[in-house]
A and B are shown apart, each in its own frame.
Chain A
Amino acid sequence: MSDQAILSAPGAAAEYDSAPATKVRGYWQSVAYRLSHDWITLIFGAVVLVIILIAVFAPLLAPFDPYAQSIVGRLKPMGWRGHPLGTDELGRDMLSRLIYGGRISLIMGLAPVAIAVMIGGTLGVIGGFAGKVANTAIMRTMDVFYAFPSILLAVAISGAMGGGIFNGIISLSLVFIPAMCRVAETATSQVKNLDYIEAARASGAGTFAIIRHHVLGNVLGPVFIYASSLVSVSILLASGLSFLGLGVQPPEPDWGLMLSTLRQSIYVDPLGCAMPGIAIFITSICFNLVSDGVRAAMDVRI
């Protein structure tokens, strides 16, 4: 699409009728134009940016050590002795743990998706472009993974490999690779028989050059959009794994794990118990809406 799509801004047709068509926006300019007029995406994008900045600068922003315990200060309410959001079940500062928890949640949201884009995207392009035996071998293998619901697959892989951030990232990557592979394979299959590919082939271009210059440009759009929609799913799945004890392990400040350990105190401190859940909700919905906005701006159907 980046090669051939020349899109104009919505509602600009009348303008072109009355004036000479001397200035036509490029594809990415057009995407940027649409995004700049999509206030919902801009607002939620700003929230995502704030969340990322908070996570990056956590050591500077957190008012307390997120690991420092105080049994006498457990489950204290908001504002207690300088703890803006109170304390958790071991007397640790809730705000500091939420801030540090954002780091882990973002890592768990982005890393598996990035790995899946690299591995799944590569396999999909290879499968789609090579066709025949290679396509069958790759896609039927992916179908095996597809047969399982994603959360069940993540739980099974994490259960078999054990808990921890690293194993959590691997299990979520394995969950996302088949879906990513399928998106890349579909996009590649659609473009590989188009005329300009045939022309490139006829002009003597090698397979690698065709993929690099003519296929990837058309595949990356859908892959990128799909990947952005998976970030929120990844955050939710990672939180679910941690909640079940299969993801991040204590005493790390992870939102899913915090939700799990705080739920025993729900009758004493219901608001405190809800905070990690609120953080998960806000982050995942922001990523989701931003992904939707970018998809609409890029006019990609998946």
Chain B
Amino acid sequence: MSRLTVFTTRCALLGAMALSIVPFQSSRAAGVLTVAMTAGDLPVDTGNPDQGFEGFRFVGWNLYDALINWDLSSKDKPSDIKPGLASEWHIDPANSKRWIFTLRQGVKWHDGCDFTADDVMWNFARISDQKAPQFLTQQFALSRAYLTNYDGIEKIDDHTVAIKTKFVESLFPYDMAYVLMVSRCRAEALKLDWDAYAKAPSGTGPYRFASMTPHERMEFTPNKEYWDKARVPKQDRLIILPMPEAATRTAALLSGQVNFIEAPAPDAVPVLKKGGMQIVTNTYPHNWPYILNFTRGPFTNLKVRQAANYAINRDDVVDLVGGFAIPEYAEVPPTLPYYGHPVVYKFDKDKARALLKEAGCLPCKVTLAISTSGSGQMQSLPMNELVKQQLEDAGFVVNLDVMDWNALLDVSRSGVPKYPNVDGMNASRGLLDPVSAIIKPVASAYWSPAGSNWGHFKTPEADALVTQIFEEFDATKRMALLTKLHEYESEQALMIFVVHDLNPRALSPKVKGFIQSQNWFQDLTPISVDP
């Protein structure tokens, strides 16, 4: 054997060894991502999930897509919507209440069927048409908040549909970013047995369903054929566990049971850091306010609302939550493009007291409904106790009506018609899109219980601005109007503004590649886990 042959053979062997090692390392590096959620149970997987936006975050957006998805790729700018199963959409030039959606071609469901316009038609019937055989009451309930303005759908061709709205709404596409599409093929193969479907769900999302142990864990595997190649998961497996106790989640992370936890208790963060864990935070569209009653009681008076806002020492609240919040002086965080120049209610106890005196409400008795815990409620009890003390220091007499999260959700959904004696309610709010963030809380069209204007706020100025916004299709002009509305709501002291959450998460040092977007939803696909 010549030296050249020997050299070539050795090179080939070394090359083969290297090649065999590289995929091995890569597959090992992918690892298993195990997430401890704050939810008390596994979210439903038959379409739109329950368990609030956490259900969307860990089940909804992993198994499924909507016509319009959220762009969660950046941590530096507020996330916005982007094409999902619809590659493009526009308003019908001849009809301002008709939106045309061009569907993405070449998309396959996890079960291998092709995605078509018929699937979209079938899905909308499933959540809105009680006569359709696929109608599912549970999904109707979980989707109806996003179908307030939906007035029907029609198929134009195999890859185009048109959705009609009840009234002109330039921001309607945002609603479509909360309606997830499930596989007609799989559901019909299971004879529309939704219990069976829950054990074998099929979507178009970046993860496939692998297994589920009820109330305990749900497992997913990557969908290697996902249509968005940039979002093919980089882990071998994703496991989610419901773990509502913050201290339990912390212990689970420290012990290695999980490697990703939601919302650790702020006081546990130093211990987690000492244990080498990564603490990830970012601003996101969340607020922790008191939503007020405008039908009766002290908060019908603007001066009392302003007094309450001046009475809040937000820096102390931020300290209480270990710095994982930013002071909230208006409805949305300053990072959102329509923030503008709202009134800044800097802590001024004397000014608050003077305003109460002017309003003839000193001492000013108020009843605030609060929950012991809940999705997005942060450290609910101590924060509410602190706010109570601050309000009382300024001349309020606060009665905290404490209830569990589901009871507060009933207060929240039913509104002041059912709970007229509640002067204010502490419920955190998701501000993902302008309609949810600043339009629904002031427009009379959204009065509770049908909409989320909980306290029945109504002024001609607010309603006129909302109509202008909905009828404005020029994005720049619309942004100016949204900014004006946000500033107006601040002048009106629409809520008692307290803090915006920074949403801490704790990750094992082995978890790599997570980008915390400025959104309630997060993309888990870029994450890899070291061995």
| Chain A residues with a Cβ under 8 A of chain B | 67, 69, 71-72, 74-75, 89-90, 159, 162-163, 245-246, 249-251, 260-261, 263-269
Contact B386 A267 (CB under 8 A): no
CA distance A159 to B402 in the complex (A): 12
CA distance A71 to B400 in the complex (A): 20
Task: State which of B148-156, B169-177, B377-385 sits at the interface with chain A.
Answer: B377-385
23 contacts between A and B (CB under 8 A): A69-B386, A71-B320, A72-B319, A75-B267, A89-B267, A90-B382, A162-B407, A163-B402, A245-B373, A245-B381, A250-B400, A251-B388, A251-B389, A251-B400, A261-B382, A264-B246, A264-B268, A265-B268, A266-B268, A267-B247, A267-B250, A267-B271, A269-B267
Highest count of chain B CB atoms <10 Å: which of A67, A246, A261, A267: A267
Contact B267 A90 (CB under 8 A): no
CA distance A267 to B373 in the complex (A): 20
Q: Say whether chain B's binding surface is mostly helix, strand, loop, or mixed.
A: helix
Contact A74 B265 (CB under 8 A): no
Chain A residue at smallest Cβ distance from B275 = A267
Which B residues are CB-close (under 8 A) to A265? Answer: 265, 267-268
Contact B268 A263 (CB under 8 A): no
Contact B402 A245 (CB under 8 A): yes
Which B residues are CB-close (under 8 A) to A67? Answer: 389
Ordered nearest first, which 7 A-B pairs have the shortest CB separation? A245-B372, A264-B265, A267-B271, A249-B402, A265-B267, A71-B316, A267-B268
Which A residues are CB-close (under 8 A) to B388? Answer: 251
Query: Does B403 have its Cβ within 8 Å of any Cβ on chain A?
Result: yes
Chain B residue at smallest Cβ distance from A70 = B316
| Chain B residues with a Cβ under 8 A of chain A | 246-247, 250, 265, 267-268, 270-271, 316, 319-320, 372-373, 379, 381-382, 384-386, 388-389, 400, 402-404, 407
Contact B320 A74 (CB under 8 A): yes
**How far apart are B195's CB and chain A's nearest CB, in angstroms?**
27
Which A residues are CB-close (under 8 A) to B389? Answer: 67, 69, 251
Which B residues are CB-close (under 8 A) to A72? Answer: 319
Q: Say whether chain A's binding surface is mostly helix, strand, loop, or mixed.
A: loop
**How far apart are B131's CB and chain A's nearest CB, in angstroms?**
37
CA distance A69 to B317 in the complex (A): 12
Chain B residue at smallest Cβ distance from A263 = B247
Which B residues are CB-close (under 8 A) to A74? Answer: 320
Contact B382 A268 (CB under 8 A): no
20 further interface pairs, Cβ-Cβ under 8 Å (given A90-B382, A245-B403, A268-B268):
A69-B385, A71-B316, A71-B386, A74-B320, A89-B320, A90-B320, A90-B385, A159-B404, A162-B403, A162-B407, A245-B404, A246-B404, A251-B385, A261-B381, A264-B246, A264-B265, A267-B265, A267-B267, A267-B271, A268-B271
**How far apart are B312's CB and chain A's nearest CB, in angstroms?**
13
Which B residues are CB-close (under 8 A) to A260? Answer: 381
**How far apart are A269's CB and chain B's nearest CB, in angstroms?**
8
Of the candidates A71, A162, A268, which one forms a contact with B270 in the assembled complex, judged by CB atoms under 8 Å apart? A268
**How far apart are A72's CB and chain B's nearest CB, in angstroms?**
8
Which A residues are CB-close (under 8 A) to B320? Answer: 71, 74, 89-90
**How far apart are B40's CB and chain A's nearest CB, in angstroms?**
13
Chain A residue at smallest Cβ distance from B250 = A267
Contact A89 B382 (CB under 8 A): yes
CA distance A273 to B268 in the complex (A): 13
**How far apart are A161's CB and chain B's nearest CB, in angstroms?**
11
CA distance A90 to B381 in the complex (A): 10
Which A residues are CB-close (under 8 A) to B407? Answer: 162
Which B residues are CB-close (under 8 A) to A268? Answer: 267-268, 270-271
Which A residues are CB-close (under 8 A) to B386? Answer: 69, 71, 90
**How far apart are A16's CB and chain B's nearest CB, in angstroms?**
63
Which A residues are CB-close (under 8 A) to B403? Answer: 162-163, 245
CA distance A266 to B388 in the complex (A): 24
CA distance A268 to B246 in the complex (A): 14
CA distance A249 to B371 in the complex (A): 11
